[in-house]
């Protein structure tokens, strides 16, 4: 009986690609993911598409009454990118973000090291305090901070008056942009330290004790052991924390918005999140606000791309 044979592939030709049959076993993971993907598409996909649609239309308050929105293409983006106030707010937001990230990572590291040095009882007390600060809703926290810095009845002015030679009663911390952002930085960093501290504490506890002891026997100081032994072990954690802190601090809205309502000057203290809200909800320029939001989203994606790349590299190692 003769058998037919397939012709041999010429030398250097790529091997034929095997087709993978669609089996129930291959479809099962997607069936489990389908509900989550549907919810994600509904709560994230639709708003994103709607934002893109608004950004290329002249959508003002009149359109809320049923008037068709006029297609304007990239005019909203052009107007935004040529607006001096947009670049002022963007520079202010990035400067605010840099200060907050540096303080958050630095103080979070110090708190994490303190957690490692404390005894069991004191570590529990400090952990509970950090958890309470982290779990407090931003709006509730801002009401407390607002009363603390109140010009007439605030505890901060009262303590400064008791400690100093001059009276601080009546001093407004929010009327000046510099002191406004000092208060905003204090509030944002206070709320972000617990997450950074707990994450770094978990990372530091995984550093092998024998490695630290060996470095100590070799004569390394505490500073050398920290930067030469502990930091390299948790470098990937630092990368993740820095990137996430950058994203969160650029998106700050509640803290700045509430402080502006208490006594800040909006034109001199707005960040990107508040600026988008002002353009859309306050002034009714929904198309322009959507264009700013799209640009802001692109900035977030650029930062997130570095985070994703760093995460993928760690998983490949």
Query: Is 86 within the bounds of a domain?
Result: yes
pLDDT in tens, 14-39: 555 555 666 777 788 888 888 888 88
The pTM assigned to this predicted structure is 0.81
Question: Does residue 213 fall inside a structural domain?
Answer: yes
18's tokens: 């095997």
CB 282 within 8 A of CB 288: no
106 has pLDDT over 90: yes
With respect to residue 28, please indicate whether it lies within any of the assigned structural domains.
no
Residue 62 is assigned to a structural domain of this protein: no
Give the relative orientation of helices 177-204 and 235-250 as an angle to the nearest 10 degrees.
150
The answer to the question of residue 163 being in a domain is no
What is the domain count for the chain? 1
Is there a domain that residue 123 lies in? Answer: yes
Range of the domain at 230: 70-153+168-316
The confidence score (pLDDT) of residue 10 equals 57
> E strands of the chain, at which residues?
57-58, 70-71
Residue 178 lies in a domain: yes
Mean pLDDT in residue range 131-136: 87
Banded pLDDT at 89 (limits 50, 70, 90): very high
Tell me which residue of 162, 163, 159 sits closest to 173, measured CA to CA.
Answer: 159
249: domain CATH number is: 1.10.3720.10
34 part of a folded domain: no
- Reported as a single tens digit per residue, the pLDDT across 260-311 is 888 878 888 889 989 999 888 877 788 888 999 999 988 888 888 877 776 6
CA geometry: angle 204, 205, 211, nearest 5 deg: 80
């Amino acid at each position: 009986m003769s058998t037919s044979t397939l012709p041999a592939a010429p030398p250097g030709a790529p091997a034929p690609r095997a087709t993978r049959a669609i089996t129930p076993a291959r479809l099962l993971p997607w069936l489990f993911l389908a509900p989550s993907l549907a919810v994600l598409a509904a709560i994230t996909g639709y708003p994103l598409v709607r934002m893109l649609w608004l950004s290329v239309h002249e959508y003002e308050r009149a359109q809320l009454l049923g008037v068709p929105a006029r297609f304007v293409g990239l005019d909203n983006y052009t107007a935004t990118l040529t607006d001096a106030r947009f670049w002022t707010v963007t520079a202010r937001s990035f400067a605010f973000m840099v200060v907050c990230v540096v303080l958050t990572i630095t103080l979070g590291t110090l708190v994490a090291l303190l957690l490692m040095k404390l005894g069991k009882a004191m570590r529990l007390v400090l952990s509970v305090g950090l958890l309470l600060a982290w779990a407090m809703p931003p709006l509730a926290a801002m009401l407390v901070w607002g009363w603390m810095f109140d010009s007439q009845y605030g505890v901060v002015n009262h303590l400064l008056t008791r400690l100093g030679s001059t009276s601080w009663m009546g001093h407004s911390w929010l009327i000046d942009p510099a002191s406004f952002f000092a208060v905003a930085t204090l509030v944002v960093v206070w709320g972000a330290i617990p997450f950074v501290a707990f994450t770094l504490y978990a990372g530091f506890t995984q550093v092998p004790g024998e490695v630290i002891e060996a470095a100590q026997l070799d004569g390394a100081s505490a500073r050398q052991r920290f930067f030469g032994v502990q930091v390299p072990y948790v470098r990937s954690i630092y990368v993740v924390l820095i990137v996430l802190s950058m994203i969160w601090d650029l998106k700050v809205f509640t803290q700045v918005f509430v402080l502006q309502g208490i006594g800040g000057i909006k034109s001199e203290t707005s960040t990107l999140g508040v600026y988008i809200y002002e353009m859309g909800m306050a002034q009714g320029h929904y198309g322009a606000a959507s264009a700013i939001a799209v640009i802001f989203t692109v900035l977030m994606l650029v930062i997130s791309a570095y985070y994703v790349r760093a995460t993928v590299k760690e998983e490949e190692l």
